[in-house]
Structure formats: structure tokens, C-alpha cells
Structure 1
Amino acid sequence: MQSWLDMLREARAQGRRFARVRVVTLPLNDYSRFGVWCSQFTNGAGEDIRYLERGKAAALALPDHDYWLFDSRKLVRMHFDDRDAFLGGEVIEDAAEIVKHNYWRDAAWHHAIRRDDLATEQHLGRV
């Protein structure tokens, strides 16, 4: 994890921005609690991770698949099997799909809450 944190610090020092929204089910399961705990370190290194409750994501008609956007113009859709094992990423080059995913990212960001706020709401504190 240290190499990821170092990379985040270096990139932020160069003016790059790292942000993501994680969609979670409440109450948090053990894996999601662990993710919230870890995000205190990545946020401290310069990444901005926020959280959106799954019901709100559904009400906003956000997709139920995971994806990454790089510089708002490169889209990689993640694929998982029925047991949530990662199968790989698919690079999507269709401009309309990229625009749609940028919209979804912005909508999720608008409704998501900061890591520390979620930790407080879920009584996780700062460990």
C-alpha cells in the first residue's frame, strides 16, 4: 500500500487529481468497513474517496457496474463474476458511452458524502 500512497502524494504534488465514489450497502459489511478504514490513508495522501448509499445510487438511475474514468476521456469498465472475482477491465472508446459515464460520475459525486462523514455516521471513527 505504501507505493500507492507515495504515488498519490507525488501525483498530487504535480497537480493531478484522484477522486472516486464508492457505492456501499448500509449497514456496512466487514469488507466495506475495511475499505472505509483504508481510505483514511489514501485520502491523507491526496485521493478524495466519497461514499454513496446503494439505494440512493439506484434512485439516481446510476449504473450497477464498476468503472474508472481517466482524465474524463478514457473509460475502463470492470467485469466481475457472480462471486465478485475480478475478471478484467474493458477499454470503452465510444464517445457517447464516455460522456454518459462522465455524467454518472458527476451525479454520484454530487450526492456522495466524504469519508470522514460516513465514518462518523457509521460510528467507525478514525483508526
Structure 2
Amino acid sequence: MENDRKKDTIILRVQKTQKEKWKKICQEKKISITSLIVNSVEERMMDDERRKVLSFIEKQDNVFVKIETNINQVAKIVNIQKSISPKNLNDFLERLSEITTLKQEQNKIFENIYALLSK
């Protein structure tokens, strides 16, 4: 089976100012010039953007872990006290409903993000 290593070279002639501009962009984004050119030509997401998206997804997941922990704490308190006031129950159920809606919206956003990442 053929090795997938890069074997071809393309020599690109650009003005020195253009090259310096590209190098500056690459330094800011922490990507290579090759990555910049290939991803631009192929209309793919840049590596730095991919890292930002994955970081965002991780942060979102952490937010929901904290919320789920709070839900478990409320459930534990209710189990210990063996009761919950109707008002507190309604407030809790409203918040739970909001969280469910937000989680569904987040999942739709993630599906779109994953589709972009797969390009």
C-alpha cells in the first residue's frame, strides 16, 4: 500500500510582502503556511479554528456537567428530607425543562460544527 506521506512539491512565487503577510497570519494562528494554503484552497476549516471549536465544545460540556451535578444535589436533598414544596418543585421542573431545551439546541449546533470539522 502506498505511503500517505507528502511527496510532491509545489513552488509558488509570490511577492516578498505577500509572503511576510502570510507568515504573520500563520504565526498568529499557530499554523503552517502549507496548512494555510491547502485549507484555503480546499475551503476547509483552519487548524486554529478547529482547535477553538473543540475548546468551545469542551467548555460547553463542562457547563452541563456542573448543572447535572446541581440537579443531583437537589435530588439528594429531597430524598433526605422526603419532601419538596410545590413551589420549589415547579421551579426545579421549569429549570430542568430549560436545560433540556438548551441541551437539544446545543446538540444541533454541535452536529453542524462536526459537519464543518469533517471537511
TM-score normalized by structure 1? 0.28
* Larger radius of gyration between Structure 1 and Structure 2: 2
Which structure has more strand as a fraction of its residues? 1
Where is the helix percentage greater, Structure 1 or Structure 2?
2
Normalising to structure 2: TM-score of the pair?
Answer: 0.29
